[in-house]
């Protein structure tokens, strides 16, 4: 590992290994929607010189130069922005592009992108330190932990844990069902639900058999999926979905993609909103 490159480290080790930019602010390229959102929420957006194409929130991020899709980065495109610091998650790639960037000696900070709230805290703390926004990061973490504790306390009174089938439309093909180790499974868990598909990891095309076996109480989709599939009724018309409790009752819950799956500063909000949709008996916080 080069002296100025940080790859795959925990937050504390990663931050400790990065130099303090005492003389001049870093020129930051952010790779990953959650990274970009954290930078804006910390008030460090003036450091940004570029973002990846998943960085669609807040709206201002869309006006920045883009370096491509986070999993298909072009080293030349990134280097053209003359960054001094690249902040990304473990989802960034391809490996060849990252190797090219590392070879230039540019600082690279790669943070874990797991689907739980501790991962969010890790990202906030690390980015807060490297951007000089430590107190802002501490405040953000405290607010988030308080919101998550409040949600956990209310979920402790829930009468049931509904089974939730998450569907994702991809490039006009058959909808994909989210299995284990996905952002969908992570947010469903935080909201006190049970992922209705756990026989595999990742996303796989939906089959009538898997729909029936899911025994889903709710269907969870993004608003973008609703549009791509032609509306809520088109989703309910998926083969065998009408044989599940969710299909029979027409229970579809829809969210904005980045809010639901971003695992960034708004995750406590997303988890709380989803929990309220899945548990109508929960009492809202004052």
Final residue in a domain of this structure, among 147, 179, 209? 147
Helix (H, G, I), strand (E, B) or coil at 259: helix
- Does some domain include residue 152? no
Are 59 and 158 in contact by the 8 Å Cβ rule? The answer is no
Same domain, 91 and 133: yes
By CB neighbour count within 10 A (0-12 exposed, 13-18 middle, 19+ buried), where does 153 fall?
Answer: exposed
Same domain, 10 and 140: yes
Same domain, 87 and 197: no
- Does some domain include residue 48? yes
Residue 89: C-alpha distances to residues 12, 20, 214, 223, 235 (Å)? 15, 21, 31, 25, 32
Same domain, 134 and 164: no
CA distance 16 to 105: 17
Final residue in a domain of this structure, among 93, 119, 147? 147
- Does some domain include residue 154? no
- Return per-residue pLDDT of the chain as tens, 286 residues: 333 444 444 444 444 444 444 468 999 999 999 999 999 999 999 999 999 999 999 999 999 999 999 999 999 999 999 999 999 999 999 999 999 999 999 999 999 889 999 999 999 999 999 999 999 999 999 999 999 999 999 999 998 999 999 999 866 667 899 999 999 999 999 999 999 999 899 999 988 888 999 999 999 999 999 998 889 998 888 888 989 999 999 999 999 999 999 999 999 999 999 999 999 888 665 5
- Does some domain include residue 69? yes
Report the pLDDT value the prediction gives residue 210, as an integer from 0 to 100.
87
Same domain, 120 and 184: no
Helix (H, G, I), strand (E, B) or coil at 171: coil
- Residue-range definition of the domain harbouring residue 235: 159-278
Report the pLDDT value the prediction gives residue 171, as an integer from 0 to 100.
60
Report the pLDDT value the prediction gives residue 174, as an integer from 0 to 100.
75
- Does some domain include residue 285? no
What CATH number does residue 128 fall under?
3.40.50.1980
Same domain, 99 and 200: no
Same domain, 142 and 255: no
Same domain, 192 and 68: no
Same domain, 167 and 140: no
CA distance 207 to 241: 10
Report the pLDDT value the prediction gives residue 276, as an integer from 0 to 100.
95
Same domain, 61 and 142: yes
Same domain, 115 and 19: yes
Number of domains in the chain: 2
Are 15 and 30 in contact by the 8 Å Cβ rule? The answer is no
Report the pLDDT value the prediction gives residue 275, as an integer from 0 to 100.
97
Neighbouring CB atoms inside 10 A of 114's CB total 17
Report the pLDDT value the prediction gives residue 239, as an integer from 0 to 100.
82
Same domain, 9 and 130: yes
- Does some domain include residue 233? yes
Final residue in a domain of this structure, among 89, 123, 147? 147
């Amino acid at each position: 590992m080069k002296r100025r490159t940080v790859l795959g480290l925990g937050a504390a080790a990663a931050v400790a290994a990065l130099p303090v930019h005492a003389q001049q602010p870093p020129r930051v390229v952010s790779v990953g929607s959650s990274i970009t959102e954290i930078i804006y929420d910390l008030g460090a957006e003036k450091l940004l010189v570029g973002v990846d194409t998943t960085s669609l929130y807040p709206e201002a991020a869309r006006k920045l130069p883009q370096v491509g899709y986070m999993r298909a980065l072009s080293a030349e495109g990134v280097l053209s922005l003359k960054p001094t610091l690249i902040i990304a998650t473990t989802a960034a790639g391809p490996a060849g592009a990252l190797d090219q960037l590392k070879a230039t000696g540019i600082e690279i900070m790669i943070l874990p992108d797991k689907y739980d709230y501790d991962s969010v805290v890790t990202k906030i703390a690390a980015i807060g330190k490297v951007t000089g926004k430590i107190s802002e990061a501490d405040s953000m973490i405290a607010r988030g932990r308080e919101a998550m504790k409040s949600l956990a306390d209310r979920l402790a009174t829930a009468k049931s844990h509904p089974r939730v089938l998450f569907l994702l439309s991809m490039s006009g093909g058959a909808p994909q069902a989210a299995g284990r180790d996905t952002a969908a499974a992570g947010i469903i868990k935080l909201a006190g639900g049970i992922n209705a598909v756990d026989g595999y990891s990742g996303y796989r095309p939906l089959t009538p058999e898997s729909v029936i076996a899911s025994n889903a109480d709710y269907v969870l989709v993004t608003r973008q999926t609703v549009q791509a599939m032609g509306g809520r009724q088109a989703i309910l018309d998926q083969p065998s979905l009408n044989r599940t409790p969710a299909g029979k009752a027409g229970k579809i819950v829809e969210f904005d993609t980045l809010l639901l799956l971003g695992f960034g500063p708004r995750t406590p909000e997303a988890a709380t909103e989803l929990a309220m949709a899945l548990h109508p008996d929960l009492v809202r916080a004052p």
